Chains A and B, each alone.
Chain A
Amino acid sequence: MRAVDDEMRVPIDGELDILTARQDARELATALGFDGVSQTLIATAISELARNILKYAGHGEILLRSAARSGARGITVVAADEGPGIADPALAMTDGFSTGHGLGLGLPGTRRLMDDFDLVSKVGSGTVVTTTMWARRP
């Protein structure tokens, strides 16, 4: 097993990379003290974001890092690509909207799975989704 750093970068170039990103996120989340339920929510969000990268941009990367905010610990997932971008981000965030014959739940669902969510996209230059989950205090 690899050592868990507090930042990991997973290139997304094929289907198996989705599984790697999910697994790396579980390891980092465990190291940061997240419980099993939170790990599953994070892994599911990553599955959606990484698949979007593969499907719409062809390739990109998932960056995982620890976050801190007034004593709370968090895990931040950045999904970045230099693909075609999203023409209407508000529309893409609507449940059921898909240009790829999908269920259209990946982006809006990821917002519901995680605590903080930010989508920046520019047509022709790419898409960056930055999302964070904060550890529940015991």
Chain B
Amino acid sequence: MPVPILAQAPYLIASVQAALTDADLIGLQNGLLDEAQRRRCQGVIVDVTALDVMDSFSTRTLQSLAAMLRLRGVETVIAGIQPDVAMAMVRLGLTMPDVRTALDLDEGLAYLQAKQQGSAGRGQ
């Protein structure tokens, strides 16, 4: 099932609804890169609350998505990794050290907003 991308200026929110196929992941990656460019957005939140498994493949895909967006000047936050999913990820050896994570969507938005205010302040 394709992942819907919602615009909430200046951010994009991608809410994963169900287990992701490879095609869904690639679609998400391309969709976010395109939309981030088109809407000149500053941050992206990928809400994975609904995911019951994050394996090495999906983790690596999300990591490279975040890396691509960072090169475009867009910060990515992965929000809502469930407690048992986090446990399984750590046992597998997947710790996502280079990707910002948040407890849930609200925390993710709060983080991006705080960061934006911080950088706006420095610019004045």
Contact = CB atoms under 8 A, between A and B. Distances in A.
B93 A113 contact: no
Contacts of A126: none
A133 to B, nearest CB: 12
Q: How many of chain B's residues touch chain A, expressed as a range?
A: 20 to 34
A108 B89 CA distance: 13
Given A103-B60, A106-B56, A113 B88 contact: yes
A102 B91 contact: no
Contacts, number: 72
A48 B84 contact: no
A113 B60 contact: no
Interface string A6-37: 00000000011001001000000000000011
Interchain residue pairs A-B with the least CB separation, the first 10:
A109-B92, A47-B55, A40-B84, A44-B88, A37-B84, A105-B93, A103-B56, A112-B91, A105-B56, A113-B91
Given A47-B53, A47-B57, A105-B94, 20 more contacts: A16-B21, A36-B84, A37-B84, A40-B53, A40-B84, A41-B88, A44-B88, A44-B89, A44-B92, A48-B56, A48-B92, A102-B56, A103-B93, A106-B56, A109-B56, A109-B92, A109-B94, A112-B92, A112-B93, A113-B92
